[in-house]
Amino acid sequence: MNQEVIFETQGITKYFGGLAAVDNVDMKIHKGEILGLIGPNGAGKTTFVNTITGMLRPTRGRVIFKGQDITGWPAYRVGRLGIARTFQIVKPFLGMTVRENVAVGAMFGHKGKTRTTRQALEKADEVLEFVEMGHLRNHFADQLTLAYLKRLELAKALAMEPELLFLDEVMAGLNSREIEEAMEMIRKINASGVTLLIIEHVMKAIAGVTHRVFVLNFGTELAQGSPEEVLNDPRVIQAYLGEKFVERQRRMQQASPQQ
């Protein structure tokens, strides 16, 4: 694994009133890796991504991309630098075709400024082939299944030609076959040279595609390491499943006959 740090947060903090939704998070993302970001509901994962991609301004801390301080930059400037993200709640333009939706993505990103509409549509076609949605390009977004809506989000982000891509729960609500396909797509995106941070509750996907995992709990870092280490860490299991589950496991172990 290439250890070059492409992206880094230092003490990033975001308050909503008195609530520290993200509290003093130091994270490094290495060039070429797939980093998983997990944590229970409300842990601050989406807020973290919003705060480092210009949707929200951090209360404190610094964001560094390829050595440049981009703290507090607005989303469009962050996008032009080569960082894209998807949204947990899909936001397609319903009155537009799939192709037009993706073309909008192609108008942003680092080459977006100089693209004509026609070039943006050509880029959209290329990306739709890559994500295997070419056959749906003239469909309207409101005709798509959830799996394809999620993939459309991915296509819109990819049309920005990012170097670094943040995915926020692109597998939520998918069935197991669709999850397998999404995992394959993430590997393919990564193999094309894109560094990824993926937020996911589907642990099979975290275990199956990430190189490293970072755990947030109550806005702070709980653990980080290899997927095996992190997913077997009792603190992580406890954060996810709660005290009661851990207590029940302990009682069951005590009750079972000794080997």
The residue ranges that bind Mg ion (CB under 5 A) are 45-46, 88
Work out how close the CB of 139 gets to ligand ATP at its nearest, in angstroms, rounded to a whole number. 28
By a kind-dependent CB cut-off of 5 to 8 A, residue 16 interacts, out of Mg ion, ligand ATP, none, with ligand ATP
To the nearest whole angstrom, how small is the minimum distance from the Cβ of residue 132 to ligand ATP? 27
Cβ 231 to ligand ATP, closest distance in Å?
A: 16
CA quadruple 32, 36, 37, 41: dihedral sign: positive
Q: Which is nearer to ligand ATP, 43 or 98 (CB)?
A: 43
Strand order in the sheet with 68-69: 19-30, 5-16, 60-65, 68-69
Q: How far is the CB of 155 from ligand ATP (least distance, A)?
A: 22
> Which partner from the list Mg ion, ligand ATP, none does 42 bind, CB cut-off 5 to 8 Å by kind?
ligand ATP
What residue ranges bind ligand ATP (CB under 6 A)? 16, 21, 39, 41-47, 88
CB of 137 to ligand ATP, least distance (A): 30
User: From CA 247, how far away is CA 28, in angstroms rounded?
Assistant: 34
Closer of 21 and 194 to ligand ATP (Cβ): 21
Chain mean position to CA 14: 18
b/e per residue 184-213 (b: at least 16 CB within 10 A): ebbeebbeeebbbbbbbebeebbeebbebb
Cβ proximity to ligand ATP, 42 vs 208, nearer residue: 42
Say whether 35 sits in a helix, a strand or coil: strand
4: its two tokens: 């070059």
Quick one: which of 214, 248, 218, 219 has its CA closest to 233?
214
User: Could you tell which of ligand ATP, Mg ion, none binds residue 41, using a CB distance below 5 to 8 A set by kind?
Assistant: ligand ATP
Nearer to ligand ATP, 71 or 220 (CB): 220
Indicate the length of the chain as a whole number: 259
Q: In this complex, which beta carbon is closest to Mg ion, that of residue 86 or of residue 210?
A: 86
